[in-house]
Amino acid sequence: MRETFEINSTIFADVRLMNVHGQHGLGFYRLTVQVVVDMRPRTENEVVVVTDLAAEVGMSEGIGIGLLIGRMVARGSDLPIESRPHKNEQWVTFDLDMDGSRAAAIEEQRAGRDFKLGLAISGQATSRTVPTPQRIRADLTIDANQSTWVKVLEAMGYRRTLLLEIPMPGQDAPEELRQAAEHLRQAQDLMMRGKHREAVGACRDVLESMGVALADEQGQTPEVVRSWFEGTREMDKAARVRLVRRALKILTHPARHADEVSAGHEWGPEDAKAIVTATAALVQLTAQD
Protein backbone atom coordinates (compact mmCIF):
# COMPACT_ATOMS: atom_id res chain seq x y z
CA MET A 1 0.00 0.00 0.00
CA ARG A 2 1.31 3.46 -0.94
CA GLU A 3 0.33 6.90 0.37
CA THR A 4 1.75 10.38 -0.18
CA PHE A 5 2.95 13.43 1.75
CA GLU A 6 1.89 16.85 0.50
CA ILE A 7 2.88 20.45 1.12
CA ASN A 8 0.69 23.23 -0.23
CA SER A 9 -1.35 20.55 -2.05
CA THR A 10 1.77 19.38 -3.92
CA ILE A 11 2.98 15.80 -3.47
CA PHE A 12 6.64 15.69 -2.44
CA ALA A 13 6.96 12.07 -1.22
CA ASP A 14 5.47 8.61 -1.63
CA VAL A 15 5.20 6.52 1.55
CA ARG A 16 5.28 2.70 1.73
CA LEU A 17 4.91 0.36 4.68
CA MET A 18 7.53 -2.34 4.13
CA ASN A 19 7.56 -4.86 6.97
CA VAL A 20 6.88 -5.57 10.62
CA HIS A 21 9.26 -7.18 13.12
CA GLY A 22 9.43 -8.12 16.78
CA GLN A 23 12.25 -7.74 19.26
CA HIS A 24 12.73 -9.16 22.74
CA GLY A 25 13.60 -6.73 25.53
CA LEU A 26 14.30 -7.11 29.23
CA GLY A 27 10.80 -7.27 30.68
CA PHE A 28 9.08 -5.90 27.56
CA TYR A 29 8.33 -6.65 23.90
CA ARG A 30 9.11 -4.33 20.99
CA LEU A 31 6.98 -4.08 17.87
CA THR A 32 8.88 -2.53 14.95
CA VAL A 33 7.44 -1.29 11.66
CA GLN A 34 9.67 -0.10 8.81
CA VAL A 35 8.47 2.55 6.38
CA VAL A 36 10.10 3.80 3.18
CA VAL A 37 9.66 7.46 2.21
CA ASP A 38 10.44 8.02 -1.48
CA MET A 39 11.28 11.72 -1.72
CA ARG A 40 10.52 13.21 -5.13
CA PRO A 41 13.11 15.50 -6.78
CA ARG A 42 12.98 19.13 -5.65
CA THR A 43 15.08 22.12 -6.65
CA GLU A 44 17.21 23.88 -4.06
CA ASN A 45 14.56 26.52 -3.52
CA GLU A 46 11.88 23.83 -3.14
CA VAL A 47 13.67 21.60 -0.60
CA VAL A 48 11.21 20.10 1.87
CA VAL A 49 12.22 19.13 5.41
CA VAL A 50 10.13 16.61 7.36
CA THR A 51 10.35 16.61 11.17
CA ASP A 52 8.49 15.31 14.23
CA LEU A 53 7.54 11.99 12.65
CA ALA A 54 5.46 9.70 14.82
CA ALA A 55 2.82 7.05 14.26
CA GLU A 56 -0.14 5.36 15.86
CA VAL A 57 -0.62 1.65 15.21
CA GLY A 58 -3.73 -0.45 15.49
CA MET A 59 -5.50 -3.62 14.40
CA SER A 60 -7.19 -2.46 11.24
CA GLU A 61 -10.21 -3.60 9.25
CA GLY A 62 -8.67 -1.98 6.19
CA ILE A 63 -9.53 1.71 6.75
CA GLY A 64 -7.65 3.77 9.34
CA ILE A 65 -5.77 2.33 12.28
CA GLY A 66 -8.78 0.51 13.70
CA LEU A 67 -8.46 -0.73 17.26
CA LEU A 68 -5.61 1.31 18.76
CA ILE A 69 -2.55 -0.58 20.02
CA GLY A 70 -0.34 2.41 20.86
CA ARG A 71 1.82 5.31 19.73
CA MET A 72 5.12 4.54 18.00
CA VAL A 73 8.38 6.49 18.12
CA ALA A 74 10.39 7.18 14.95
CA ARG A 75 14.09 6.50 14.66
CA GLY A 76 16.53 6.49 11.75
CA SER A 77 19.92 7.83 10.74
CA ASP A 78 18.36 10.12 8.11
CA LEU A 79 16.01 12.01 10.44
CA PRO A 80 14.94 14.67 9.80
CA ILE A 81 14.15 13.81 6.16
CA GLU A 82 15.05 16.24 3.38
CA SER A 83 14.28 16.24 -0.33
CA ARG A 84 17.12 16.51 -2.85
CA PRO A 85 17.52 17.43 -6.53
CA HIS A 86 17.14 13.76 -7.38
CA LYS A 87 14.74 11.11 -6.15
CA ASN A 88 15.94 9.44 -2.94
CA GLU A 89 14.72 6.67 -0.66
CA GLN A 90 14.63 7.21 3.10
CA TRP A 91 13.92 4.47 5.63
CA VAL A 92 12.20 5.26 8.91
CA THR A 93 11.71 2.74 11.71
CA PHE A 94 8.82 3.08 14.15
CA ASP A 95 9.01 1.30 17.51
CA LEU A 96 6.41 0.51 20.14
CA ASP A 97 7.43 -1.05 23.47
CA MET A 98 4.74 -3.24 25.02
CA ASP A 99 4.31 -5.06 28.30
CA GLY A 100 2.87 -8.56 28.53
CA SER A 101 -0.72 -7.42 29.06
CA ARG A 102 -0.77 -5.43 25.83
CA ALA A 103 0.79 -8.29 23.84
CA ALA A 104 -1.76 -10.67 25.37
CA ALA A 105 -4.61 -8.28 24.46
CA ILE A 106 -3.48 -8.31 20.82
CA GLU A 107 -3.45 -12.11 20.86
CA GLU A 108 -6.89 -12.26 22.44
CA GLN A 109 -8.27 -9.96 19.77
CA ARG A 110 -6.45 -11.81 16.96
CA ALA A 111 -7.75 -15.21 18.16
CA GLY A 112 -5.48 -17.05 15.74
CA ARG A 113 -6.79 -15.19 12.66
CA ASP A 114 -5.15 -13.10 9.97
CA PHE A 115 -5.47 -9.35 10.46
CA LYS A 116 -4.10 -6.03 9.23
CA LEU A 117 -1.85 -3.59 11.03
CA GLY A 118 -2.88 0.00 10.44
CA LEU A 119 -0.30 2.77 10.73
CA ALA A 120 -1.24 6.45 10.90
CA ILE A 121 1.96 8.45 10.32
CA SER A 122 2.05 12.15 11.10
CA GLY A 123 4.69 14.89 11.09
CA GLN A 124 5.56 18.43 10.06
CA ALA A 125 6.80 19.66 6.67
CA THR A 126 8.48 22.99 5.85
CA SER A 127 10.28 24.52 2.90
CA ARG A 128 11.81 27.88 1.98
CA THR A 129 8.56 28.90 0.34
CA VAL A 130 6.44 27.40 3.13
CA PRO A 131 8.31 28.29 6.35
CA THR A 132 5.27 27.72 8.57
CA PRO A 133 5.13 24.00 9.45
CA GLN A 134 2.33 22.12 7.72
CA ARG A 135 0.90 18.93 9.15
CA ILE A 136 1.43 15.84 7.02
CA ARG A 137 -0.25 12.46 7.38
CA ALA A 138 -0.29 9.07 5.70
CA ASP A 139 -2.53 6.10 6.57
CA LEU A 140 -1.01 2.73 5.71
CA THR A 141 -1.92 -0.92 6.30
CA ILE A 142 0.01 -4.16 6.05
CA ASP A 143 -1.30 -7.73 6.11
CA ALA A 144 -0.32 -9.60 9.27
CA ASN A 145 -1.28 -13.14 8.33
CA GLN A 146 -0.75 -16.00 10.74
CA SER A 147 2.71 -17.00 9.53
CA THR A 148 3.96 -13.40 9.52
CA TRP A 149 2.59 -12.59 12.97
CA VAL A 150 3.81 -15.84 14.56
CA LYS A 151 7.34 -14.92 13.38
CA VAL A 152 6.93 -11.50 15.01
CA LEU A 153 5.88 -13.17 18.27
CA GLU A 154 8.82 -15.58 18.08
CA ALA A 155 11.25 -12.67 17.61
CA MET A 156 9.65 -10.88 20.57
CA GLY A 157 10.13 -13.96 22.72
CA TYR A 158 6.40 -13.89 23.47
CA ARG A 159 5.90 -17.59 22.73
CA ARG A 160 8.63 -18.49 25.22
CA THR A 161 6.87 -16.65 28.03
CA LEU A 162 3.26 -17.29 27.08
CA LEU A 163 3.11 -20.38 29.27
CA LEU A 164 4.66 -21.30 32.58
CA GLU A 165 8.38 -21.87 32.41
CA ILE A 166 8.60 -25.65 32.35
CA PRO A 167 11.66 -27.74 33.23
CA MET A 168 11.85 -29.94 30.14
CA PRO A 169 13.07 -33.53 30.59
CA GLY A 170 16.72 -34.14 29.75
CA GLN A 171 18.18 -36.61 27.29
CA ASP A 172 18.36 -39.28 30.00
CA ALA A 173 14.60 -39.07 30.65
CA PRO A 174 12.28 -41.78 29.31
CA GLU A 175 11.44 -41.42 25.63
CA GLU A 176 7.76 -40.94 26.48
CA LEU A 177 8.48 -37.88 28.68
CA ARG A 178 10.66 -36.31 26.00
CA GLN A 179 7.90 -36.98 23.50
CA ALA A 180 5.40 -35.34 25.86
CA ALA A 181 7.54 -32.17 25.85
CA GLU A 182 7.59 -32.16 22.06
CA HIS A 183 3.80 -32.57 21.92
CA LEU A 184 3.48 -29.62 24.31
CA ARG A 185 5.55 -27.43 22.00
CA GLN A 186 3.34 -28.52 19.11
CA ALA A 187 0.22 -27.68 21.13
CA GLN A 188 1.47 -24.18 21.78
CA ASP A 189 2.37 -23.67 18.12
CA LEU A 190 -1.05 -24.89 16.98
CA MET A 191 -2.78 -22.58 19.46
CA MET A 192 -0.82 -19.59 18.17
CA ARG A 193 -1.89 -20.46 14.62
CA GLY A 194 -5.56 -20.58 15.54
CA LYS A 195 -5.87 -24.38 15.22
CA HIS A 196 -7.71 -24.80 18.49
CA ARG A 197 -9.04 -28.34 18.12
CA GLU A 198 -5.62 -29.56 17.00
CA ALA A 199 -3.99 -27.79 19.97
CA VAL A 200 -6.31 -29.58 22.40
CA GLY A 201 -5.59 -32.84 20.57
CA ALA A 202 -1.84 -32.29 20.99
CA CYS A 203 -2.46 -31.86 24.73
CA ARG A 204 -4.16 -35.24 24.66
CA ASP A 205 -0.93 -36.61 23.12
CA VAL A 206 1.07 -34.98 25.93
CA LEU A 207 -1.05 -36.71 28.55
CA GLU A 208 -0.96 -40.00 26.65
CA SER A 209 2.85 -39.95 26.58
CA MET A 210 3.05 -39.02 30.26
CA GLY A 211 0.55 -41.76 31.13
CA VAL A 212 2.76 -44.38 29.46
CA ALA A 213 5.94 -43.08 31.08
CA LEU A 214 4.40 -42.86 34.55
CA ALA A 215 2.24 -46.00 34.30
CA ASP A 216 -0.96 -44.01 34.88
CA GLU A 217 -3.02 -46.65 33.07
CA GLN A 218 -1.33 -49.71 34.54
CA GLY A 219 -3.87 -52.40 35.46
CA GLN A 220 -6.72 -50.25 34.17
CA THR A 221 -10.08 -52.03 34.30
CA PRO A 222 -13.60 -50.59 34.56
CA GLU A 223 -13.50 -51.27 38.29
CA VAL A 224 -10.15 -49.48 38.64
CA VAL A 225 -11.38 -46.49 36.64
CA ARG A 226 -14.44 -46.19 38.89
CA SER A 227 -12.18 -46.21 41.92
CA TRP A 228 -10.01 -43.32 40.74
CA PHE A 229 -12.09 -40.76 42.58
CA GLU A 230 -12.51 -42.79 45.73
CA GLY A 231 -10.48 -42.12 48.82
CA THR A 232 -9.24 -38.72 47.62
CA ARG A 233 -8.89 -37.45 51.18
CA GLU A 234 -6.15 -40.00 51.84
CA MET A 235 -4.27 -39.42 48.56
CA ASP A 236 -0.72 -38.07 48.62
CA LYS A 237 0.36 -35.32 46.22
CA ALA A 238 1.63 -37.70 43.53
CA ALA A 239 -1.69 -39.57 43.49
CA ARG A 240 -3.63 -36.32 43.26
CA VAL A 241 -1.49 -35.08 40.35
CA ARG A 242 -2.06 -38.44 38.63
CA LEU A 243 -5.80 -38.04 39.14
CA VAL A 244 -5.74 -34.57 37.56
CA ARG A 245 -3.77 -35.93 34.59
CA ARG A 246 -6.42 -38.60 34.08
CA ALA A 247 -9.27 -36.08 34.35
CA LEU A 248 -7.63 -33.70 31.86
CA LYS A 249 -7.08 -36.60 29.51
CA ILE A 250 -10.82 -37.29 29.60
CA LEU A 251 -11.51 -33.62 28.79
CA THR A 252 -9.19 -33.65 25.78
CA HIS A 253 -10.41 -37.02 24.48
CA PRO A 254 -12.97 -35.62 21.96
CA ALA A 255 -10.30 -33.58 20.13
CA ARG A 256 -8.57 -36.79 19.05
CA HIS A 257 -11.67 -38.70 17.94
CA ALA A 258 -14.30 -38.31 15.24
CA ASP A 259 -17.25 -40.20 16.67
CA GLU A 260 -20.72 -38.72 16.93
CA VAL A 261 -20.23 -37.47 20.49
CA SER A 262 -16.83 -35.92 19.77
CA ALA A 263 -18.10 -34.16 16.66
CA GLY A 264 -20.45 -32.12 18.85
CA HIS A 265 -17.60 -30.52 20.79
CA GLU A 266 -16.50 -27.00 19.83
CA TRP A 267 -12.98 -25.86 20.72
CA GLY A 268 -12.39 -22.12 20.73
CA PRO A 269 -9.33 -19.96 21.53
CA GLU A 270 -10.11 -19.74 25.25
CA ASP A 271 -10.58 -23.52 25.45
CA ALA A 272 -7.24 -24.10 23.76
CA LYS A 273 -5.43 -21.54 25.92
CA ALA A 274 -6.84 -22.98 29.15
CA ILE A 275 -6.11 -26.59 28.24
CA VAL A 276 -2.60 -25.92 26.93
CA THR A 277 -1.80 -23.95 30.09
CA ALA A 278 -3.27 -26.66 32.34
CA THR A 279 -1.28 -29.34 30.51
CA ALA A 280 1.90 -27.29 30.84
CA ALA A 281 1.25 -26.91 34.56
CA LEU A 282 0.88 -30.69 34.90
CA VAL A 283 4.17 -31.23 33.10
CA GLN A 284 5.76 -28.82 35.56
CA LEU A 285 4.22 -30.56 38.57
CA THR A 286 5.35 -33.94 37.29
CA ALA A 287 8.89 -32.71 36.68
CA GLN A 288 9.15 -31.55 40.31
CA ASP A 289 8.48 -35.03 41.70
Same domain assignment for residues 136 and 238: no
pLDDT band with cut points at 50, 70 and 90 for residue 166: low
pLDDT digits (tens, 9 = 90+) for 71-107: 999 987 678 999 999 999 999 999 999 998 898 889 8
> Residue 207 sits in which domain range?
163-288
pLDDT digits (tens, 9 = 90+) for 110-146: 877 889 999 999 999 999 889 999 999 999 999 888 8
Last residue of a domain, which of 114, 135, 156?
A: 156
Same domain assignment for residues 191 and 228: yes
Same domain assignment for residues 183 and 249: yes
Same domain assignment for residues 124 and 168: no
Same domain assignment for residues 182 and 127: no
Same domain assignment for residues 183 and 132: no
In the 3-class helix/strand/coil scheme, how is the chain assigned residue by residue? CEEEEEECCEEEEEEEEEEEEEEECCCCEEEEEEEEEEECCCCHHHCEEEEEEEEEEEEECCCCCCEEEEEEEEECCCCCEECCCCCEEEEEEEEEEECHHHHHHHHHHHCCCCEEEEEEEEEEEEECCCCCCEEEEEEEEEEECHHHHHHHHHHHCHHHHCCCCCCCCCCCCCHHHHHHHHHHHHHHHHHHCCCHHHHHHHHHHHHHHHHHHCCCCCCCCHHHHHHCCCCHHHCCHHHHHHHHHHHHHHHHHHHHCCCHHHHCCCCCHHHHHHHHHHHHHHHHHHHHC
Same domain assignment for residues 211 and 279: yes
Last residue of a domain, which of 105, 139, 156?
A: 156
Q: Model's pTM, two decimal places? A: 0.64
Last residue of a domain, which of 156, 187, 205?
A: 156
